[in-house]
Structure 1
Amino acid sequence: MTVSQRPLRSVLYIPGSKPRALEKARSLPADAIIFDLEDAVAPDEKSTARSTLAQALSDGGYGARMKIVRINDLGTEWGAEDARAVLSMGADAVLLPKVNGPAELDALAEITGDLPLWAMMETPAGMLRAAEIAAHPLSQGMVMGTNDLAKDMGTRFRADRMPLMTGLGLCLLAAKAQGLAIIDGVYNAFRDADGLAAECAQGRDMGFDGKTLIHPAQLDVANAAFSPSEEEVDLARRQIAAYDEALTNGQAVAVVDGRIVENLHVATARETLAKMDAIAALNAG
């Protein structure tokens, strides 16, 4: 299954230094886990976190969840050692923070070889070079770092995230142009389920594949928001049936609920049903 086909509705950050959190993550309904060696790990725990995470991934038990390891920036004293360690962890991908351009992915690839690369998109420079970053031959996904981006831009908090829209849009366009996965930034108020649901709905409307999360309490909201609804599944099935009937009758266009259905709508409908099948398979795994 390619990254564009697998569910990535909920992408949960887990500190690589916390054995209890690493154990709990094995039973959580997350589509993917970012095992964090960067922000969630104190400087004096970096080395221990590396070995703790390596042991947890070696022990396994994470099922079909995608396993992504976020390392420290290669410009830090820990980054290169993190990158070397990831090679033997059995991770699905490595996530590099604060990517400003493709040269940083080149530097990482010199260490990690052909391991798929994900980029944290969290700086103004990164926004302006998003297309180049997405086009890197080993790029597989992008993760929005909206907290850092807001800090660097000096924005005020707004529930509609209007100050961040240009950056979010640039990264979305870059990722979609290259067929990459792209995951929306975190929602900080983890006890505010209504606020999270609203931001997830906004992200889904924009085209994000899922949401990065900082607490297990956020999982159900994100999974629901980024799953096709019953109404969307029903419409998809009816669109496909109507279009197939139209083709049988020598027509290239059908009508469903008073709206035109062409081949592009059917392609979207088939993607909706395929996503539901992939979610069902993940839940059964």
Structure 2
Amino acid sequence: MKTLSRPLRSVLYIPGSKPRALEKARQLPTDAIIFDLEDAVAPDEKTNARDLLGQALNEGGYGARMTIVRINDLSTIWGAEDAKAVAKMPVDAVLLPKVNRPEDLEALEKITGDMPIWVMMESPMGMLAAAEIAALPRCQAMVMGTNDLAKDMGTRFRADRMPLMTGLGLCLIAAKAHGIAIVDGVYNAFRDDAGLALECEQGCDMGFDGKTLIHPAQLDVANAAFSPSLDDIDLARRQIAAYDQALANGQAVAVVDGRIVENLHVATARKTLAKLDAIDSLGME
């Protein structure tokens, strides 16, 4: 269950309390949707949102998009009821906020059973326990909660996100070590395409699978940033061809564009082409 091969370039938060947003999401070019019952829903709307979301999901129409529901923390008065409801919904995973330790997931498992679990990594305690959390069998993906992490750490905003790098790195290493997906935190200025593009590029360079988004206007930027470029695709194909030819000639190393190509480079090239195929299979772009 650990392996998640489908694209997660764009992971859009949708409030579970907004009928219009739930309807619009059926047509948006997002790889995954996080239907939110937590931060995006006011306290007096929590119960209604749970019922409304259940109805929308049962109606279907979300196509190839991956569907995840973020519940309220189990320590709240809504959390356990959210978990019970989500366990009966036709969704791909449940997202647990405020994860600080493996025991938090184990408590959720008692309610949701075999359903895959995504975890919000958004506290210093969570960063320190990242490897233990990622190792749990039901843990399928990590979602960075950079706003909450910055708040808890008392950092100032920087475009390069340097104050958050230790936490981001700990979670990335944990996710890669245990073969689970990991998506970057949100970019708050949803009308700043240039800033979003830079942060997406940074996240892509770091190894994130995609980015969480707060507004549909951010989808095109994230999808482009986390998709293989034409140059990436061309290089991957030429590396594979050159390496195959080298093997046919009894050699273990090829040269492409003046650079050595070994089996590890070919593995990366094949992964690039596999990602392209997976994106094409979504049929949304």
How far apart, CA to CA, are the structure 1 residues paired with 2:276 and 2:119?
27
Match of 1:233 in 2: 233
Deviation for aligned residue 1:4:
3.0
Match of 2:22 in 1: 22
Match of 1:123 in 2: 123
What letter is aligned with 1:193? Answer: D
Residues 1:34 and 2:34 are matched in the alignment = yes
* Corresponding residue pairs, total: 285
Matches within 5 A, 1:33-52: 33-52=33-52
TM-superposition CA deviations, 1:189-228 (whole Å, max 9, x none): 0000000000000000000000000000000000000000
What letter is aligned with 1:16? Answer: G
Match of 1:271 in 2: 271
Deviation for aligned residue 1:3:
5.1
How far apart, CA to CA, are the structure 2 residues paired with 1:74 and 1:276?
38
Deviation for aligned residue 1:88:
1.1
How far apart, CA to CA, are the structure 1 residues paired with 2:265 and 2:41?
46
TM-superposition CA deviations, 1:112-166 (whole Å, max 9, x none): 0010001000000000000000001100000000000000000000000000000
**Between 246-255 and 275-284, the greater mean CA deviation after superposition:** 275-284
Query: CA RMSD of the aligned region, Å?
Result: 1.1
Match of 1:210 in 2: 210
TM-superposition CA deviations, 1:28-61 (whole Å, max 9, x none): 0000000000000000000000000000000000
Contact kept? 2:2, 2:140, Cα under 8 Å: no
Q: Secondary structure at the match of 2:47?
A: helix
What letter is aligned with 1:80? Answer: A
Q: Secondary structure at the match of 2:175?
A: helix
Identical columns (%) = 79
Match of 2:170 in 1: 170
Deviation for aligned residue 1:5:
1.4
Matches within 5 A, 1:69-108: 69-108=69-108
Match of 1:154 in 2: 154
Match of 2:61 in 1: 61
How far apart, CA to CA, are the structure 2 residues paired with 1:38 and 1:112?
17
Deviation for aligned residue 1:2:
7.5
How far apart, CA to CA, are the structure 2 residues paired with 1:240 and 1:164?
37
Change (3 A) 1:284 1:15: closer
Q: Structure 1 length as normaliser, TM-score?
A: 0.99
| Residue segments in structure 2 that go unaligned for 5+ positions in a row | none
Match of 1:113 in 2: 113
Deviation for aligned residue 1:283:
2.1
How far apart, CA to CA, are the structure 1 residues paired with 2:20 and 2:88?
22
Contact kept? 2:71, 2:95, Cα under 8 Å: yes
Change (3 A) 1:189 1:158: same
| Residue segments in structure 1 that go unaligned for 5+ positions in a row | none
